[in-house]
Amino acid sequence: MDKRTLTMSDFATKIDKYFNVFIEYCNTFDIELFNDRFLSNPSIKYLSKSTEIKEELITYFKPLRDEILEYRYDYYTKKSIQDIANITGADNSRIISYLERIKSSFDKSEISDLSPYGDVTVETKVKHISSYKILKDFQTQERQLILQNKITERKQIK
């Protein structure tokens, strides 16, 4: 019996059709998407409806469907600094600082309510970025800071 070839179109009907946000989700949660476990040709680095997939892609992500949809909702929703703080647990000032550093990566329609000077403020709102990605970036910074502190401690002991 010949099995039908599965494509991302099948994935879209069962899990999610927003492939770019799905890729962001995988990156945020350190899931290696582009490998031979999930894709027929893991050398590609983009997804389209015709991309051939393996059954394992659907099997693995089906239980995570609600999380993927929540991630997508957060990604596309225009969020205030406080909205992001509620998810990340970070102080508003840390979020403002983070967004200030990356604000040039946003299109004008993706960031609003900047100060008259173009600065990020507590009133600023953003979309096309996930609060969960911001949280991951914060956690990465914290790990790097801990590592740097350990290096400094070792240098002081010598």
pLDDT at residue number 4: 77
Positive or negative, the CA dihedral 136, 142, 145, 150 is negative
Q: Length of the chain, please?
A: 158
pLDDT digits (tens, 9 = 90+) for 110-151: 999 999 999 999 999 999 999 999 999 999 988 888 988 888
Placement of tokens 């995570």 in the chain: 64
β-strand partners of 53: 6, 39
**Residues 47 and 19: beta-carbon distance below 8 Å:** yes
Q: Any idea of the CA torsion for 77, 81, 82, 88, to the nearest 10 degrees?
A: 80
Contact 34, 46 (CB under 8 A): no
What mean pLDDT do residues 37-47 have? 92
* Angular region, 113: left φ>0, alpha ψ -120 to 50, beta rest: left
Place of tokens 């600065």: 119
Q: What is the mean pLDDT of residues 59-86?
A: 97
Q: What is the pLDDT of residue 1?
A: 42
Please give the model's pTM, rounded to 2 decimal places.
0.86
